Amino acid sequence: MAGPLEQFAIHNVTDPLFTIGNHPIALTNSAIFMLGAVVISSGLLLVGSGKAAMVPGRIQALAEVFYEFIGNMVRDNVGTAGRKFFPFIFSLFIFTLFGNILGLVPYGFTFTSHIAVTFFMAAVIFLAVTLIGLFKHGLHFFSLFFPHGAPLFTAPILIPIELVSYLSRPISLSVRLFANMTVGHVLLKVLAGFVVALGIFGAVPLAVLVAITALELLVAVLQAYIFTILSCIYLNDALHLH
Amino acid sequence: MPVSALRASGWGLVLAILPAAAHAAGGMPQFDVTSFPTQIFWLVVSFALLYVLMAGLVLPRIGHTIEAREGKIQADLDAAQKANDAARVAAEAQRAALAEARGKAAGTVRQAAEAAAAETTAHLTTLGEKLAGQIGEAERRIAEQRAQALAGLSSLATEITSSVLGKLVGNVDGTQVAAKVAEAVETARKGTK
């Protein structure tokens, strides 16, 4: 029986296609699920946005629910200035959501359970947001690290705290998603191992497994939401400071 | 919620077994640095593809659809408001027309009743006059006949008296008899009256 960590192993499906620097790039199981998430989500959304019916059908209603959900999230958390980042935030949510949910399909692979993926996304968001803040506010951007109205003598304490908290944003953002996905899938795998090991009494962990699977579905949606809304909040901080 | 409590204990379980499992499996695949470039390459490719499709196709189309729907709903609401106003005006006009027609109808009925009453009165008047004429005529005829009858009575009485006296007395002066009879008839008539 495979260990609980084996499901996270990345293996090549094809021979290396080309190299970037010294790194051979092959199509992997992770890549297939990334591309699959893109194909399934954009297929769904292209079909849903194609008909443009006044009274939407099911798929169109789903596409519009996504659109309005993320549209409201951006409007509520970033304001009208966030309008031009809407396509990015929308893509971020859809990519994370479909990655998380596709990972729950049996024999599937969860690319969001890899720190390389989540940290790269978080780092790009962090850098982009910081650059947007610097570009928009210039040096005034650094007032983000000193809360407005705090007594001046607290600066030696507050500024390092704020700086550390700011710099840890990409880490907390990426580790939250990665750890939640990893732990959920490890837990499912361990429980599944009990089902087989206990024979007839395996019905008990099986029932738990079903409940945990439902919970993992909730976690998959929730973590995609949290990842996206935190990106919105960081973007709002950069655009409007405090 | 017991399931979430279980998941929380799952975290503990995982943290407890992870190091051992990771050691047995030769480390967590997540920390295999050699896989990072491939993962990041495919992440960039697939996310860029998704972004291009969303920003270029899907989001403008959905945005346009939602805007068109809101515009349509607003237009429909405006049209309904306009139709409602028009209906209210029409109802007002209809009520006014109805009231006017009712007034006119009442006038016509009154006129007709008056005309009928006048006609009846005129009819009755002519009828009454005709009847009165006929009654007068009849009375006049009765009076005439009565006078004739009375005149006949006087001459008959004179004749009868003359012949009776002639038989009893012989030759009688006719004019004297006639005067006496006429006097007696007059007296009798007065008596019967």
Number of domains in chain A: 1
- Whether residue A90 contacts residue A67, with contact meaning beta carbons closer than 8 Å, is answered with yes
In a domain, A216, yes or no: yes
Cβ-defined contact of A87 to B54 (cutoff 8 Å): yes
Task: Closest CB to A95: pick one of B50, B63, B66.
Answer: B50
Question: Using a CB-CB distance cutoff of 8 angstroms, which residues of chain A are in contact with residue B54?
Answer: 42, 45, 87, 90-91, 94
In a domain, A93, yes or no: yes
CA dist., res. A161 & res. A144, Å (int): 12
Is the pLDDT confidence value at B170 over 80? Answer: no
In a domain, A1, yes or no: no
CA dist., res. A237 & res. A114, Å (int): 27
Nearest to B28 by CA among A193, A186, A217: A186
Q: Distances in Å between the alpha carbon of B159 and those of B63, B81, B169, B173, B179?
A: 141, 115, 15, 12, 12
Distance from B20 to chain A by nearest Cα, in Å?
A: 11
Q: Lowest-pLDDT range, A72-86, A120-134, A145-159, B132-146?
A: A145-159
Q: In chain A, which among 159-218 make CB contacts under 8 A with chain B? A: 178, 182-184, 186-187, 190, 208, 211-212, 214-215
Q: Is B12 on the interface with A (CB under 8 A)?
A: no
Q: Is A113 on the interface with B (CB under 8 A)?
A: yes
- What does the pLDDT look like over A56-106, one tens digit per residue? 999 999 999 999 999 999 999 999 999 999 999 999 999 999 999 999 998
Q: Distances in Å between the alpha carbon of B22 and those of A5, B19, B29, B42, B98?
A: 7, 5, 8, 25, 93
Task: Closest CB to A52: pick one of B6, B38, B65.
Answer: B65
The tally of CA atoms less than 13 A away on the side-chain side of residue B52 is 7
Question: Using a CB-CB distance cutoff of 8 angstroms, which residues of chain B are in contact with residue A38?
Answer: 46-47, 49-50, 53
Nearest to B37 by CA among A218, A153, A23: A23
Q: What are phi and psi of A19, to 5 degrees?
A: -125, 145
Give me the mean pLDDT over the A191-219 stretch.
92
Question: Using a CB-CB distance cutoff of 8 angstroms, which residues of chain A are in contact with residue B41?
Answer: 20, 25
- Residue carrying structure tokens 């591309």: A35
Using CA atoms in the order A218, A35, A11, A5, what is the torsion angle rounded to 10 degrees?
-10
Cβ-defined contact of A117 to B39 (cutoff 8 Å): yes
Question: Using a CB-CB distance cutoff of 8 angstroms, which residues of chain A are in contact with residue B36?
Answer: 116
Provide the token pair at B27: 């480390």
ipTM of the complex: 0.94
Q: Work out the pLDDT band at A120, boundaries 50, 70, 90.
A: very high
Is the pLDDT confidence value at B25 over 60? Answer: no
Is the pLDDT confidence value at B21 over 70? Answer: no
Average pLDDT across chain A, whole number: 93
Res A1: pLDDT? 56
Q: Work out the pLDDT band at B6, boundaries 50, 70, 90.
A: low
Is the pLDDT confidence value at A213 over 60? Answer: yes
Res A152: pLDDT? 85
- What does the pLDDT look like over B35-48, one tens digit per residue? 999 999 999 999 99
- Whether residue A137 contacts residue A125, with contact meaning beta carbons closer than 8 Å, is answered with no
Distance from A19 to chain B by nearest Cα, in Å?
A: 10
Q: Is B135 on the interface with A (CB under 8 A)?
A: no
Question: Using a CB-CB distance cutoff of 8 angstroms, which residues of chain B are in contact with residue A219?
Answer: 7
Nearest CA in chain B to A70: B59
b/e for A94-108, b at 16 or more Cβ within 10 A?
A: bbbbbbbbbbbeeee
Cβ-defined contact of B68 to A54 (cutoff 8 Å): yes
In a domain, A97, yes or no: yes
Q: Is B83 on the interface with A (CB under 8 A)?
A: no
Q: Is B180 on the interface with A (CB under 8 A)?
A: no
Cβ-defined contact of A45 to B65 (cutoff 8 Å): no
Task: Closest CB to B37: pick one of A20, A187, A214.
Answer: A20
Question: Using a CB-CB distance cutoff of 8 angstroms, which residues of chain A are in contact with residue B53?
Answer: 38, 42, 45-46
- What does the pLDDT look like over B54-89, one tens digit per residue? 999 999 999 999 999 999 999 999 999 999 999 999
Is the pLDDT confidence value at B90 over 60? Answer: yes
- Give the residue numbers spanning the domain of A77: 6-240
CA dist., res. B154 & res. B184, Å (int): 9
Identify the helix (H) or strand (E) that includes residue A18.
Answer: strand A18-20
Nearest to B4 by CA among A7, A230, A218, A11: A218
Provide the token pair at B136: 């007068």
